[in-house]
């Protein structure tokens, strides 16, 4: 048999579900104190996420997409990026966004039905949340192309889900990244479900990582619940990108521990046993175990930190709750750089109706 091409896709895992190191950490792994700092961010993220769900349940937030279970993946992605890089997230990657400076009140404003949530006060050049699945992947490829054309040493990182990996935009982004050798990293967050559709129904591909082969990209599958594996996988991809070697596709194996959104009821389609089993692979627990083993973490420290998280989150929630609804005429703001006359007329009509003509 003559072989036209052959491929191998590596799987990365260092810290197993029980918090045991199952492989030698690479030399590039961050020192324990940095790992500790990231672990604290994971706890912070989880604290925020739980409060956001609670806000929705009490009618103070619109539909919200929780990130419970995705903490290692999201924090690992965010931690590997530089400020000048650009992130094109889906609607769920708060962890990566927080590390890039997005404020909790902005997340809440967005899901609270206020446009200003997307006007990130930091992370000014990051892409906004993208609701139409995977369209952000092509925007990231476009950003990467801009970086390449302008000779800027920046990388565009984008995330989509296992469902999003079926979307034609994701394929297009992978193809473009390969065709132009772009500084582009496609993160596929495989959390097992796309609302009610399991990963197995999305595609016949054995891995989602191999979708990168379609565009000739570097492909990698990593344990997305293992912060070390996430950091190493991202490091490799970012370095390749910065070195001009082109794009990567990384599949992060994680799990959606929550319903899809607060508008969803996963019990309709998902076995509780599966969720229970998934909890045994929780990214937070295993890292806590490991840090504990290193003498870097214990119950007391956790209690203190969780209290601090609660305090910090509450400040942001209060800021969100204190944010007044905008006057309706803002629906005309930023429609165009210069509003055409007939739009100005409609704006005037709205003001008249509001008794503020």
Partner 1 sequence: MKTAVDRSKIDPADAPAGKAITLIEAVTQALAWEMRHDDSVVVLGEDVGVNGGVFRATAGLQQQFGPMRVLDTPLDETTIAGLTVGMAAMGMKPVAEAQFDGFIYPMLDHIICHAARFRYRTRGRLTCPMVLRVPWGGGIRAPEHHSEANEAMFTNVPGLRVVLPSSPARAYGLLLAAIREPDPVIYFEPKRIYRQYKELVPDDGEALPLDVCYVLRDGSDVTLVTWGAQVKETLEAAERLAEEGISAEVIDVATLKPLDFATIAESVAKTGRCVIVHEAPRTAGFGAEIAARLAEHSMYDLVAPVERVTGYDTHMPLFRLEMKYMPSVDKVVAAAKRTVANS
Partners of 75 in beta bridges: none
Is the alpha carbon torsion for 280, 285, 289, 291 positive or negative?
positive
Tell which one of 195, 306, 319, 350 touches ligand TPP (CB under 6 A): 195
Tell which one of 19, 32, 50, 142 touches partner 1 (CB under 8 A): 142
Partner from Mg ion, ligand TPP, partner 1, none binding residue 138, C-beta < 5-8 Å depending on class: partner 1
Q: How far is the CB of 75 from ligand TPP (least distance, A)?
A: 16
Q: Does residue 167 interact with partner 1 by CB under 8 A?
A: yes
Is the alpha carbon torsion for 327, 328, 329, 331 positive or negative?
positive
**How far is Cα of residue 294 from the mean position of the Cα atoms in its chain?**
28
* Distance (Å, whole) CA 320 – CA 348: 29
Q: How far is the CB of 162 from a second copy (least distance, A)?
A: 12
The residue whose two tokens read 């990566």 is 96
Query: By C-beta, is 30 or 224 nearer to Mg ion?
Result: 224
* Distance (Å, whole) CA 324 – CA 120: 18
Q: Does residue 124 interact with partner 1 by CB under 8 A?
A: yes
Q: Does residue 68 interact with ligand TPP by CB under 6 A?
A: no
Contacting residues toward a second copy, per CB under 8 A: 1-13, 166, 168-169, 171-172, 175, 177-179, 181, 201-207, 209-211, 213-217, 221, 246
Q: Does residue 264 interact with Mg ion by CB under 5 A?
A: no
Query: By C-beta, is 42 or 249 nearer to a second copy?
Result: 249
Angle at 139 between CA 136 and CA 143, to 5 degrees: 140
Contact 62, 91 (CB under 8 A): no
Catalytic residues: 256, 260, 269
Q: Does residue 336 interact with partner 1 by CB under 8 A?
A: yes
Tell which one of 13, 97, 165, 191 touches Mg ion (CB under 5 A): 191
Tell which one of 22, 307, 315, 343 touches partner 1 (CB under 8 A): 343
Query: By C-beta, is 120 or 297 nearer to partner 1?
Result: 120
* Distance (Å, whole) CA 224 – CA 294: 22
Q: What does 255-294 look like in DSSP terms, one character per residue?
A: ---S-SSTT--GGGTS-HHHHHHHHTT-HHHHHHHHHHHT
Contact 39, 227 (CB under 8 A): yes
Angle at 58 between CA 53 and CA 63, to 5 degrees: 50
Query: By C-beta, is 66 or 161 nearer to Mg ion?
Result: 161
Partner from Mg ion, ligand TPP, partner 1, none binding residue 92, C-beta < 5-8 Å depending on class: ligand TPP
Gap between the terminal Cα atoms of the chain: 79
Query: By C-beta, is 112 or 161 nearer to ligand TPP?
Result: 161
* Chain residues in the site for ligand TPP (CB under 6 A): 92, 131-133, 160-164, 189, 191, 193-195, 256, 260
């Amino acid at each position: 048999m003559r072989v036209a091409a052959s491929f191998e896709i590596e799987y990365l895992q260092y810290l197993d579900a029980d918090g045991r190191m199952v492989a030698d950490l690479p030399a590039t792994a961050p020192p324990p104190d940095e790992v500790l700092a990231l672990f604290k961010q994971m706890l912070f993220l989880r604290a925020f996420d739980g409060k956001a769900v609670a806000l929705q349940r009490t009618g103070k937030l619109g539909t919200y997409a929780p990130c419970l279970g995705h903490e290692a993946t999201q924090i690992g992605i965010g931690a590997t990026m530089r400020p000048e890089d650009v992130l094109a997230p889906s609607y769920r990657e708060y962890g990566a966004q927080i590390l890039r400076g997005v404020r909790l009140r902005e997340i809440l404003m967005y899901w609270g039905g206020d446009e200003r949530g997307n006007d990130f006060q930091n992370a000014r050049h990051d892409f906004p949340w993208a609701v139409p699945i995977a369209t952000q992947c092509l925007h990231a490829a476009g950003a990467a192309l801009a970086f390449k054309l302008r000779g800027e040493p920046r990388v565009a990182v984008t995330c989509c889900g296992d469902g999003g990996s079926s979307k034609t935009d994701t394929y297009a982004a992978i193809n473009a990244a390969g065709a132009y050798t772009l500084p582009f990293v496609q993160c596929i967050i495989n959390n097992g479900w796309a609302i009610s559709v399991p990963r197995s129904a999305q595609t016949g591909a054995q891995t989602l990582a191999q979708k990168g082969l379609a565009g000739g990209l570097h492909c990698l599958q990593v344990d997305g619940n293992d912060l070390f594996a996430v950091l190493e996988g991202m490091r490799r991809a970012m370095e390749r990108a910065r070195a001009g070697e082109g794009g990567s596709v990384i599949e992060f194996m994680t799990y959606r521990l929550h319903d899809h959104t607060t508008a969803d009821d996963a019990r309709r389609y998902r076995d509780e046993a599966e969720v229970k089993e998934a909890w045994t692979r929780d990214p937070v627990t295993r890292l806590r175990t490991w840090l504990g083993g290193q003498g870097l973490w214990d119950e007391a420290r956790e209690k203190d930190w969780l209290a601090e998280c609660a305090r910090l989150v509450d400040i942001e929630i209060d800021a969100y709750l204190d944010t007044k609804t905008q006057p309706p005429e803002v629906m005309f703001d930023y429609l165009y750089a210069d509003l055409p006359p007939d739009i100005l007329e409609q704006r005037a009509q709205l003001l008249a109706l509001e008794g503020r003509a």
